[in-house]
Amino acid sequence: MPDWDRPELETWLEAIGFFVASAPSAPVIVAHSLGCLALAHWASRGGLVRAALLVAVPDPQSPEYPDIARSFEPVPLVPIAFPTRVVASRDDPYGSFAFNEKCAKAWSSAFSDLGNAGHINAESGLGDWPAGRALLAGLLV
C-alpha cells in the first residue's frame, strides 16, 4: 500500500487495482485488518480476483479503530463476487467476533473461528500459521 502510516481508501483501491491488473492471471489475495476493508470496497466496485482470505476484519465502531483510517467507512456490506473466507478471533481488540460474523454473512464469505488469537498477527504467536495456509488452500479447490 502506498502509505501504511496514513491509510487513505482511494489510494489503496488504486494500488489493488493496479497490481491485480498487472498480474498474469487472476491473483489470490490474503488481506489483514484494514486490508480486508479495502478489498471489500474494491470488490463492491466490481473488482474481481480468484479468491481472498480476509483475516481480522476491523470494526470502525471499535474504540481501538484508528481515526486516521476513517476514509474506509462505511464498510460495504454487500456480497463479494469471488470466493472469500473471513477468519476471526474472539478477542480481537480491533474487530469483535460478532462484527466479523456480520461481515462474513453480508459478503457471502465462508467463516472460521480462530478462538482467542488477538488480532491474528505476529503478537498472536501463530508463527508461519500452517492453519492459515490450509484455509487459503481450501479456497482454491
Return d(Cα 10, Cα 93) in angstroms, integer.
Answer: 25
What cell numbers appear for 54 in the block? 480476509
Whether 80 contacts 18, CB under 8 Å:
no
Structural domain spans, the chain:
9-14+31-120+130-139
Model-level pTM? Answer: 0.95
Residues 6+ apart with CB under 8 A from 19: 27
| CATH superfamily of the domain spanning 9-14+31-120+130-139 | Alpha/Beta hydrolase fold, catalytic domain (3.40.50.1820)
Q: Kindly indicate the confidence band of residue 78, based on its pLDDT and cuts at 50, 70 and 90.
A: very high
pLDDT in tens, 101-134: 999 999 999 999 999 999 998 888 888 899 999 9
